[in-house]
């Protein structure tokens, strides 16, 4: 069934312009061209953009774009009841997430692809006409981006963990893990003071606080990669990106902490040793939040 073409907030259409990206090639495997895709970098992210549905589906298959809360809508007939020789298949979504090299861009979908009925003013007839149209695009507005990748180059190491980060990342105890903790903007201490804390209990007993947003939890990570690079005389530490789902508005985020918990079963915050701190400025708005770690990983020791 066709639907009335939904209105969009004032000003969005005026801000609509072209999304510009650069596709990246993975030249490390085999000989090319053509080379396989290595993702994208965004050159220009407009406040609003019409995303072609088929382009989004292709990008999703390549792995650098995600349509959130995706669902399929099949239409077999035109508004006048005449059947189509083959069905129209539309894919609706609530959001579009672009995972670029420099961070993640999040767009909120305001208008879906599909069959729409739209009132059109007809000056010659001095009245309104109803136009039937098919849209194959999402009209979406930018709500966040980019979040900078989490990198060992940002901020630094807690004093208690200097020279020990790589060791704790190997998870040497029987029931240990890395723990990702977020600190909110309000009450956050300066880096020079923050790095003096020896355990998470002491850090939170000061003016620093975790966010209170619905959807925020600490992340426990037990799959950590520690790579000894003899060629470049260094050690790299890395783990998977971390995502918080549908984080409600309320408390703004400021820092991401990598911590080591030596006893995930019976320990307390006093057992959790802070390892590193990273800028992570986010204003939650109900959408997902992903901490993307760059190619160098969490930390590089050399």
Q: Which tens digits make up the pLDDT trace of 38-83?
A: 789 999 999 999 999 999 999 999 889 999 889 999 887 666 666 7
- Residue 11 above 60 pLDDT? no
151 or 246, which is more confident: 246
Distances, alpha carbon 245 to alpha carbons 85, 284, 291, in Å: 41, 11, 12
How many other CB atoms are found less than 10 A from the CB of residue 273?
Answer: 19
How far is Cα 248 from Cα 282, in angstroms, rounded to an integer? 12
213 HSE (CA, 13 A, CB side):
27
> What are the residues whose beta carbons fall under 8 Å from the beta carbon of 234, sequence distance 6 or more?
300, 301, 302
Mean pLDDT of the chain: 84
């Amino acid at each position: 069934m066709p639907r009335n073409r939904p209105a969009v907030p004032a000003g969005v259409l005026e801000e609509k312009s072209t999304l510009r990206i650069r596709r990246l090639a993975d030249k490390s495997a085999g000989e090319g061209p053509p080379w396989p895709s290595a993702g994208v970098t965004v050159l220009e992210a407009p406040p609003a953009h019409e995303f072609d549905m088929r382009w989004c589906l292709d990008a999703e298959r390549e792995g650098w774009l995600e349509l959130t809360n995706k669902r399929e809508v099949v239409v077999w007939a035109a508004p006048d009841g005449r059947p189509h020789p083959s069905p129209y298949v539309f894919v609706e979504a609530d959001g579009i997430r672009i995972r670029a090299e420099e961070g993640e861009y999040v767009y909120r979908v305001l208008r879906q692809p599909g069959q729409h009925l739209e009132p059109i003013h007809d000056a010659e007839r001095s009245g309104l006409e109803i136009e039937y149209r098919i849209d194959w695009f999402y009209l979406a507005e930018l709500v966040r981006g980019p979040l900078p990748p989490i990198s060992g180059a940002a901020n630094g190491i807690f004093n208690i963990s200097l020279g020990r980060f790589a060791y704790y990342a190997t998870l040497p105890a029987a029931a240990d893990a890395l723990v990702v903790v977020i600190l909110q903007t309000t009450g956050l201490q300066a880096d020079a003071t923050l790095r003096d804390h020896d355990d998470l209990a002491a850090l939170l007993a000061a003016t620093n606080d975790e966010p209170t947003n619905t959807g925020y939890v600490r992340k426990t990570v037990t799959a950590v990669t520690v790579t000894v690079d003899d060629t470049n005389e260094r050690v790299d530490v890395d783990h998977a990106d971390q995502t918080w789902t549908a984080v409600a508005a309320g408390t703004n985020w400021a820092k991401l902490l990598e911590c080591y918990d030596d006893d995930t079963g019976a320990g307390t915050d006093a057992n959790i040793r802070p390892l590193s701190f990273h800028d992570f400025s986010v204003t939650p708005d109900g959408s997902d939040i992903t901490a993307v770690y760059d190619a160098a990983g969490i930390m590089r020791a050399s």
